[in-house]
Structure 1
Amino acid sequence: MEYDAIILGAGAAGLMAAATAGQAGARVLVLDHADKAGKKILISGGGRCNFTNTGAEAACFLSGNPHFPKSALARYTQWDFLALVERHGIAWHEKTLGQLFCDGSARQILAMLLDECARGGVDIRLATQIGEIGHGDGRFRVAGASAANLVIATGGPSIPKMGATGLAYRIAERFGLAVVPPRPALVPLTLGPRDAAFRAIAGLSCPVTARVGPASFKEAALFTHRGLSGPAILQVSSYWSPGTPVELTLLDNAPELLREARRQMPRARLRAALSEHLPNRLAELLATQIGLEKQLANCSDADLERAADPLARLTLHPTGTEGYAKAEVTAGGVSTAALSSRTMAAKALPGLHVIGEAVDVTGWLGGYNFQWAWSSGWAAGMAIAERRAG
């Protein structure tokens, strides 16, 4: 039961690392407590798997060290993964903002990864409890097997109904690796009594520019019965911290739009003018909050400037997030300060690798986190093969 590498986790990063090392000649064992491999892959992208993004680069990732993802992303790019997809004959299409999806099913991506593992002679054991991890004489011992390399690819605690846990952090701390406190990311935000009026328009979606601090994203926002969701909100949620407001630009050039409305429909009131550009329920709510009751013809430029301010910068005050249950990924994780950006191995213990979501590297919404899984998994797999050969 001796291997060159034991990989904990049969998800995107773990399978990528296993296939890479296996095909380079390493003997690899993958262990996972789940009864099926790649469960998160199967539910991703509405079942079609947003498997990468054409714009993937280090600037699209959050990390305590923003330079850390550069090496892996440059050495195994989105184009490398797309070439693998095409070699397997998987049809794909590009949606908005560079997002690449399968035409068919996410099952095709999982089948591809499992086929790549099979080509590398990888052993995969599912429904296996990890238990205690031993280490001595330069080898790791897990579930009756031993290896010179151990790869932590168990992800983070987001989507616990899929079996996600914080196991990666416990293992890292067992070997003395620092962990940046994890938190839900790409997650809906909740609103409290201060912004209760916006919960009353649950189900309404509209394009916005959402901002948290210097981070801004121009996509759709969705008002929910608990608060805010939709792509723009999920994006800025990764940058949000308690007490920080979220700003929404509902209308670009709002003052000009209102002055034009005054010219075109002078007898109308603000609600009617806003309904030309925003959903009716949102227009009504904003008009009520702004409180400008006069006909537009009787509104001065100063009146319209004041009315335009919340349209250009609507400030909301989230009270929290919907937690790991609704989070697509986990931010934080094993500190990059403890790892080599080239090999994903612990600097103090070169046979111990940490990859994927378990690392303090979190991508934007839209295929970026899958690309990090492929890139970091490939980097670890190549390092294992090089260590074996050397």
Structure 2
Amino acid sequence: MSGGKGYDVIIMGAGAAGLMCAAAAGQRGRRVLVIDHAPEPGKKILISGGGRCNFTNIDSAPDRYLSENPHFARSALSRYTPQDFLELVERHGIAWHEKTLGQLFCDGSARQIVAMLLDECARGGAEVACGVTIGAIDHADGLFRLATSRGEAAAPALVIATGGPSIPKMGATGFAYEVARRFGLKVVQPRPALVPLTLSAEEALFRDLSGVSTPVVARCGKAAFREAALFTHRGLSGPAVLQISSYWRHGEAIGIDFLPDRKGDWLLAAKRERPKAGLRAILDEALPHRLAVALGERLGIAGDLGTIADRVLAQAQARLADWQLVPSGSEGFAKAEVTAGGISTAGLSSRTMEAKAVPGLYAIGEAVDVTGWLGGYNFQWAWASASAAGQAV
């Protein structure tokens, strides 16, 4: 690691965004140093997608990202698309497949994506230094100077790519926010996103369903997702719940439609067609048995359908279509796949990711207040924001 003016760009963080930015900048002739405190690069990439890396989503669009400025991501996403990344993957001979809902995965291992990014960094001559801790960061005379465990490094451009605090067991911290605040950038309160939700003791009936999974529509505010929900010993998880968790705020209710395929007055129709059937038997045909029993108990409707007033059945039907639950909390950053919030986009250029008030300082990837849906969207933001900065530094 050389000191002084040995580099044009220093990138803090050797994850998806940092490596992508290093490759883009290096291949433009910039002298690039990437620093990471982890012993190896791309640790979160390696665990993603069950070890197969859900590296992008072909349906990526700005409306699938949360931010205080919902338009901020538009520029970068439009200039580096899922197709652009897919072409890079194919150029490296990495076999891939599409799962549900536009999600693209490696056929083999997530290690192929890390190797590809390191190859691209090497093509541009970027130096990747892992196991390096950063101390003081100063900015004077047009240079950012970093005191590190391997000596001083300096460059006219500094990129914050250290992500958010989600999954701390992987070494994740709030370092990005400390650096941002050091240079006067605002930080939108970080919170866990794509995270399981917990239920209180009053909802213990549902916590007793641990391991049961069923397709639902989960709603919070104007957001709605149709995917599977999974009951856990602490509350709710599964793709539908992880998605809605990004929109949920403490104290709010979420609504669950347990029978999204049942339309119209299906319960009244069942009463006419099978008056001697009980409600639990009807639910048992459409839902996992343990869930059907639990919902039946909560609804408290006994007897044959033919003996139950239409009004009572209509109320039961409405409740099954929008079952209100108020989560007690979430499982926190330890179980969150990503962080919502982060470095405020108000202080950044949407075209270059450069800080408006601090020339030469950039922020990309999960460190920024842009959070994608589950299913490859956050990787696409990493690639797109990194490409934008890599073309600008």
TM-score tier by shorter-chain length is: over 0.9
Q: Following TM superposition, by how much is the alpha carbon of 1:188 offset from its aligned partner in structure 2, in angstroms?
A: 0.4
| Cα distance between partner residues in 2 of 1:184 and 1:66 | 19
Runs of 4+ in 1 over 2 A off after TM superposition: 252-257, 259-266
Query: 1:207 aligns to what SS in structure 2?
Result: strand
Counterpart residue type for residue 362 of structure 1: T
User: Which residue of 1 is the match for residue 277 of structure 2?
Assistant: 268
Which of the numbers 189, 194, 217 marks the counterpart of 2:197?
189
Which of the numbers 89, 93, 100 marks the counterpart of 2:97?
93
**After the TM superposition, which residues 80-159 of structure 1 pair with which residues of structure 2 at under 5 Å, given as runs?**
80-142=84-146, 143=148, 144-159=152-167
Does 1:305 find its partner at 2:318?
no
Does 1:68 find its partner at 2:72?
yes
Query: 2:324 aligns to what SS in structure 1?
Result: strand
Instruction: Output one character per residue of 1:296-329: Cα deviation in whole Å (capped at 9) or x when no partner.
Output: 1222322220221221110011011100000000
Which of the numbers 370, 377, 387 marks the counterpart of 2:379?
370
Does 1:53 find its partner at 2:57?
yes
| Cα distance between partner residues in 1 of 2:392 and 2:94 | 28
Query: 1:373 aligns to what SS in structure 2?
Result: helix
User: Which residue of 2 is the match for residue 231 of structure 1?
Assistant: 239
Instruction: Output one character per residue of 1:182-227: Cα deviation in whole Å (capped at 9) or x when no partner.
Output: 0000000000022121101111000000001111100000111100
**After the TM superposition, which residues 166-185 of structure 1 pair with which residues of structure 2 at under 5 Å, given as runs?**
166-185=174-193
Query: 1:345 aligns to what SS in structure 2?
Result: coil
Does 1:34 find its partner at 2:44?
no
Q: Please say if residues 255 and 308 of structure 1, whose CA atoms lie closer than 8 Å, have aligned partners that are also in contact.
A: no
Identical amino acids, percent of aligned pairs:
65
User: Which residue of 1 is the match for residue 227 of structure 2?
Assistant: 219
Does 1:287 find its partner at 2:291?
no
Q: Following TM superposition, by how much is the alpha carbon of 1:360 offset from its aligned partner in structure 2, in angstroms?
A: 0.3
Instruction: Output one character per residue of 1:132-187: Cα deviation in whole Å (capped at 9) or x when no partner.
Output: 11111001111311101000000000000000000000000000000001000000
Q: Please say if residues 50 and 100 of structure 1, whose CA atoms lie closer than 8 Å, have aligned partners that are also in contact.
A: yes
Q: Following TM superposition, by how much is the alpha carbon of 1:332 offset from its aligned partner in structure 2, in angstroms?
A: 0.4
User: Which residue of 2 is the match for residue 388 of structure 1?
Assistant: none
Q: Following TM superposition, by how much is the alpha carbon of 1:283 offset from its aligned partner in structure 2, in angstroms?
A: 0.7
| Cα distance between partner residues in 2 of 1:297 and 1:191 | 35
The gaps in structure 2 that reach 5 residues or longer are none
User: Which residue of 1 is the match for residue 392 of structure 2?
Assistant: 383
Q: Following TM superposition, by how much is the alpha carbon of 1:350 offset from its aligned partner in structure 2, in angstroms?
A: 1.9
Counterpart residue type for residue 26 of structure 1: R
Q: Please say if residues 255 and 305 of structure 1, whose CA atoms lie closer than 8 Å, have aligned partners that are also in contact.
A: no
User: Which residue of 1 is the match for residue 333 of structure 2?
Assistant: 324
Q: Please say if residues 340 and 346 of structure 1, whose CA atoms lie closer than 8 Å, have aligned partners that are also in contact.
A: yes
Query: 1:173 aligns to what SS in structure 2?
Result: helix
Does 1:339 find its partner at 2:339?
no
What do you get for the CA RMSD once the two structures are aligned?
Answer: 1.0
Q: Given the two structures, how large is their TM-score scaled by the length of structure 2? A: 0.96
Q: Following TM superposition, by how much is the alpha carbon of 1:289 offset from its aligned partner in structure 2, in angstroms?
A: 1.1
The gaps in structure 1 that reach 5 residues or longer are 385-390
